[in-house]
Amino acid sequence: MNLFIYNRIRSFLIAVSVVISLLFSTTIFAENKIIQAPTFVLPGIDNTEVNLEDYRGKVVLVDFWASWCTPCIRSFPWMDEMVDKYGEQGFEIIAINMDQESILATKFLQRYPNKLTIAFDPQGVVAEQYEIMGLPNSFILNRKGEIVYKHVGFRLAELDKYEAEILSLLPQD
Amino acid sequence: MQLKSKNKTFTNISISLAAATCALAAPVTAQPSESDSWNVDAGLLIYVESDEQVQAYEGALSITKQIDDERSINVKGVIDVLTGASPNGAVAQNRAQTFTRPSGNGTYTTAAGDTPLDDTFRDTRVALSTQYQHQLSRLWLYSGGVYLSKEYDYLALSINSALARDFNNRNTTASAGFAYAYDTIEPEGGIPIAGVSVDEADNRLTDSDTKQTLDLLFGVTQVINRQALMQFNYSLSDVSGYQTDPFKILSVVDSNGWANDYVYENRPEQRSKQSLFWRTKYNLQPSGQVLDVSYRYFWDDWGITSHTIDSKWRVQLSNQHFIEPHLRYYSQQAADFYRVYLDENQPIPEYMTADYRLGELQTYTIGLKYGLPIAGNEFSVRLEYYLTQVTGDDSLAKGAGMAGVDLYPDKSAIMLQSFYRF
Amino acid sequence: MRRILLLASILSLTACSSLGVKPWERDLLAKPEMQLVENPMEIGFDDHTYFSKEGSSGGGNFAGGGCGCN
């Protein structure tokens, strides 16, 4: 099967997943209380600040990661791909680093240049507020700043599902 | 026969589950790619005892394929070659002794004052095993496998299965596993009749016999804090079937200490073993050195109780090199039916063995491991000195026959291990 | 003596629920040298040697610790 056909089938499957997610989104809403994502202001790279409130109106993926977490490392290329694909439609990723030894985070970022907004939370203050259960832990926020989807772990088998969830939140009403 | 892998099953269950837990926490190397799903470990062991006793050469290859995020499969092959001599159980005498080889082919002579050693042990063993691991859900982990080992006179088959579940935000892990093994032994010359003289013409019972082992292992691993991890295991093992060593004998001595006969040993057909194990791993900060200490208390219904203390200290050096000193101490009480020799005036007991490995002993291991990256992969070498001190009642060296004889000779061995992981 | 040891071991487990770390504090535990089975082949060689030369066996390792990822 050549690449062209494969890509078409993949796009079709993603579209189907999006439709199903939208159809079932009301059920999800009913089962998991939608809560407003805790706001935060964290240091970023090069003395910048990352303030979640600045991202209101966009679909945001808040991802907690660390350099020592192998699934986290695998998620970086995928997160870059998502930013490339949907950035113009108002999609952002804030990747919050949890390394206790900051030098490891610095080395990691030098080794894997990326297009994500990096923030640092070594004390775990924001992680605590988000009640994270493991690493990586990601939260997909809608344009109103509400947590709609959350995932513990990063599984290659579920990439299409994650992408469908992002797509389902992009349409502006 | 000496380095028989009779209880590989224990190792299989326990190692496999532990290795699974952080197959995903491999060191940050290259970009995740297809090649990361394969992991190969190659190892070599050279074991050499002093005084021309046992020498063993073992090579192992282990290949693991990460099938997907949740599952992996491992295949491992081991070959080991054994040569050299080991004590046959008879006591040393102040005169030369001649013994018939267990196979019945020829004889060998031991000089006066020397511990009788049977040099018939030349054997090659091949073992193959496969282990499957499946992260069933976020908190549940399963591991199961099959093992087979074959040498000239011994065949071992076993299966194992274990489950682990995480609690307390993955700070506590409870595990339970079992293993079942079925072994067949077919010694050259047949299975000897217990307690019967080696010279007796018709002293073979049957050609082969079997042994079954059921192991149960229960463990709890607990994260103590950011730097420390502890593990507690309880294990229980039930062995039934032929557990005697068909090549070992005991001397029957007279009042002057002279051996006038040799009889085959006999061990019970039933053995229940239990152990309690506690281990701590501690990461010292800021150096990052790791101290690993464990203690095991073992007891069985043969009267053997033992204590094992094992410790390793990993020190990272520059350029990803490391050294790891190792110290181990082991002490064991003799089995109830352990006898240095038999007295001619006493009736032959139902169970008896002069095999020093079931006697009273203390062992000391001191070693050093050195590791470094070669072609980007970890290569390590480990050199160890293993001393066994056998102890007992020295007054048993009685009469002209055994005056001045060392009934409990010490044994030293050097072990060299080497590993390459890619 | 054994019964006391066994009981002490079981009772000590009840203290387990109050110990532990947050998911992001597992950086040291994730390191290869902190894994319970850092080199399975080495453990295999050692267990085999000691089982053949001494009267005891087993005890061993099990799962747990590590990065706690996924």
pLDDT in tens, B209-244: 999 999 999 999 999 999 999 999 999 999 999 999
CB atoms A127 and C27 under 8 Å: no
Task: Tell me the C-alpha distance between A11 and A18, whole Å.
Answer: 10
Tokens of A34: 């939608």
Interchain contact B25–A (C-beta under 8 A): yes
Look at A28 and B307; give whichever has higher pLDDT: B307
Contact, B18 vs C60, CB < 8 A?
no
Rounded to whole angstroms, the maximal C-alpha distance in chain A is: 49
CB atoms A134 and C27 under 8 Å: no
Task: Tell me the C-alpha distance between A20 and B238, whole Å.
Answer: 55
pLDDT at C13 (0 to 100): 55
Using a CB-CB distance cutoff of 8 angstroms, which residues of chain C are in contact with residue A101?
27
DSSP for B137-176, written as a single string = SSSEEEEEEEEEEEETTEEEEEEEEEEEEEETTTTEEEEE
Using a CB-CB distance cutoff of 8 angstroms, which residues of chain B are in contact with residue A100?
226
Do the domain assignments include residue B313?
yes
Domain span holding position B343: 8-421
Half-sphere exposure (Cβ direction) of B376: Cα atoms closer than 13 Å: 5
Across the range B310-336, mean pLDDT stands at: 96
Predicted confidence (pLDDT) per residue in A50-79, tens digit? 999 999 999 999 999 999 999 999 999 999
Across the range B120-135, mean pLDDT stands at: 89
Q: How far is B61 from chain C (nearest CA, A)?
A: 9
Predicted confidence (pLDDT) per residue in B12-66, tens digit? 555 556 544 333 333 333 333 444 689 999 999 999 999 888 999 999 999 999 9
Q: How far is A128 from chain B (nearest CA, A)?
A: 13
Partners for A (CB, 8 Å, 3+ pairs)? B, C
CB atoms B24 and C50 under 8 Å: no
Contact, B405 vs B368, CB < 8 A?
no
pLDDT at A28 (0 to 100): 40
- pLDDT > 80? residue B326: yes
Using a CB-CB distance cutoff of 8 angstroms, which residues of chain A are in contact with residue B25?
68-70
Partners for C (CB, 8 Å, 3+ pairs)? A, B
Tokens of B222: 């607990």
CB atoms B276 and C64 under 8 Å: no
pLDDT band at B102; cut points 50, 70, 90: confident
Pairs of CB atoms within 8 A across A/B: 32
Q: Phi and psi for B88 in degrees, rounded to 5?
A: -95, 0
Using a CB-CB distance cutoff of 8 angstroms, which residues of chain A are in contact with residue B24?
70-71
The A residues from 92 to 131 touching B (CB cutoff 8 Å) are 100, 108, 111-112
The two beta strands, B204-206 and B154-167, are unpaired
Task: Tell me the C-alpha distance between A22 and A32, whole Å.
Answer: 15
Top mean pLDDT of B120-124, B333-337, C4-8 is at B333-337
pLDDT at C61 (0 to 100): 56
pLDDT at B22 (0 to 100): 37
Predicted confidence (pLDDT) per residue in B54-95, tens digit? 999 999 999 999 998 899 999 999 999 999 888 999 999 999
CATH classification of the domain holding B267? 2.40.160
- pLDDT > 60? residue B376: yes
Q: Which residue of B has its CA nearest to A78?
A: B32
Using a CB-CB distance cutoff of 8 angstroms, which residues of chain B are in contact with residue C55?
304, 306, 332, 335, 357-358
Q: Which residue of B has its CA nearest to A151?
A: B138
pLDDT at B125 (0 to 100): 92
CB atoms A134 and B24 under 8 Å: no
pLDDT at B202 (0 to 100): 67
CB atoms A135 and C69 under 8 Å: yes
User: What sections of A112-158 are H helices per DSSP?
Assistant: 125-129
Residues 6+ apart with CB under 8 A from B146: B129, B130, B158, B159, B160
- Under an 8 Å CB criterion, which residues of C touch A? 22-28, 30-31, 67-70
Interchain contact B136–A (C-beta under 8 A): no
pLDDT at B206 (0 to 100): 81
Interchain contact B202–A (C-beta under 8 A): no
Predicted confidence (pLDDT) per residue in C8-67, tens digit? 666 655 555 678 999 999 999 999 999 998 899 999 999 989 988 998 887 765 556 667
Using a CB-CB distance cutoff of 8 angstroms, which residues of chain B are in contact with residue C16?
168, 171-172, 220, 222
Do the domain assignments include residue B52?
yes
Pairs of CB atoms within 8 A across B/C: 271
Q: Phi and psi for A73 in degrees, rounded to 5?
A: -60, -40
pLDDT band at A1; cut points 50, 70, 90: low
Per-chain mean pLDDT for chain B = 89
Task: Tell me the C-alpha distance between B357 and C56, whole Å.
Answer: 9
pLDDT band at B168; cut points 50, 70, 90: very high
- pLDDT > 80? residue A31: no
Q: How far is C24 from chain A (nearest CA, A)?
A: 6
Q: At what angle do helices A3-31 and A159-169 cross, to 10 degrees?
A: 60
- pLDDT > 90? residue B324: yes
Do the domain assignments include residue B3?
no
Q: Which of B195-204, B277-286, B364-373 has the lowest mean pLDDT?
A: B195-204
pLDDT at B29 (0 to 100): 33
The A residues from 152 to 171 touching B (CB cutoff 8 Å) are 152-153, 155-157
Half-sphere exposure (Cβ direction) of A153: Cα atoms closer than 13 Å: 16
pLDDT band at A19; cut points 50, 70, 90: low
Using a CB-CB distance cutoff of 8 angstroms, which residues of chain A are in contact with residue B170?
134
Nearest to A153 among B28, B68, B138 (CB): B138
pLDDT at A80 (0 to 100): 95
pLDDT at B158 (0 to 100): 93
Do the domain assignments include residue B200?
yes
Do the domain assignments include residue B225?
yes
Three-state DSSP class for A63?
A: strand
Task: Tell me the C-alpha distance between B60 and B45, whole Å.
Answer: 9
Using a CB-CB distance cutoff of 8 angstroms, which residues of chain C are in contact with residue A138?
none
CB atoms B226 and A100 under 8 Å: yes
CA–CA distances in Å: residue B416 to residues A41, B8, B45, B298, C42: 56, 20, 6, 27, 11
pLDDT band at B122; cut points 50, 70, 90: confident
Nearest to B172 among C16, C25, C47 (CB): C16
Q: Which residue of A has its CA nearest to C68?
A: A134
Using a CB-CB distance cutoff of 8 angstroms, which residues of chain A are in contact with residue B70?
155
Query: What pTM did the predictor assign?
Result: 0.86
Do the domain assignments include residue B2?
no
Q: How far is C68 from chain A (nearest CA, A)?
A: 7
**Residue B98's Cα: distance from chain center in Å?**
31
- pLDDT > 70? residue A22: no
Task: Tell me the C-alpha distance between A67 and C24, whole Å.
Answer: 11
The B residues from 337 to 366 touching A (CB cutoff 8 Å) are none
Tokens of B78: 């081991």
Domains in chain A and their CATH numbers?
34-154 (3.40.30.10)
Number of structural domains, chain B? 1
Residue from B4, B58, B171 whose CB has the most chain C CBs within 10 Å, to mutate: B171
Using a CB-CB distance cutoff of 8 angstroms, which residues of chain A are in contact with residue C26?
68, 135
Across the range B132-138, mean pLDDT stands at: 93
pLDDT at C11 (0 to 100): 61
Q: Which residue of C has its CA nearest to A127?
A: C24
Nearest to A98 among C24, C28, C70 (CB): C24
Do the domain assignments include residue B234?
yes
Tokens of A18: 């999006």
